[in-house]
């Protein structure tokens, strides 16, 4: 009997089928990417609410008045 213990972890140069594990990761990352893009696109397509546009216009006017009043 040998007193050497077998390392349960594969070495970096071993011929383990790592590609199968990476395929699952890649597919998951692709799916997440697609869902995030879809979500971001739907938010972008919503547009800016009218009340925010009004507020931005009022802020622009107030800034112009402040600069012109100096």
Instruction: Write the DSSP assignment of 33-57 as a string of letters.
Output: HHHHHHHHHHHHHH---HHHHHHHH
Output the pTM of the full model: 0.41
Q: What is the pLDDT of residues 15-29, one digit of tens each?
A: 555 555 577 889 999
Cα–Cα distance measured from residue 44 to residue 11, given in angstroms and rounded to the nearest whole number: 47
How many domains does the structure of the chain reveal?
1
pLDDT at 41: 93
Residue 12 inside a domain? The answer is no
Give the pair of three-digit tokens for residue 19.
């590609």
Residue 21 inside a domain? The answer is no
Residue 63 inside a domain? The answer is yes
Range of the domain at 66: 35-70
Q: What is the pLDDT of residues 49-61, one digit of tens each?
A: 999 999 999 999 9
């Amino acid at each position: 009997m040998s007193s050497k213990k077998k390392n349960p972890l594969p070495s970096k140069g071993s011929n383990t089928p790592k590609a199968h594990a990476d395929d699952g990761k890649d597919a998951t990352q692709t799916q997440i990417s697609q869902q995030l893009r879809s979500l971001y696109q739907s938010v972008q397509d919503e547009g800016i609410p009218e009340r925010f546009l009004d507020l931005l216009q009022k802020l622009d006017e107030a800034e112009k008045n402040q600069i012109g009043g100096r």
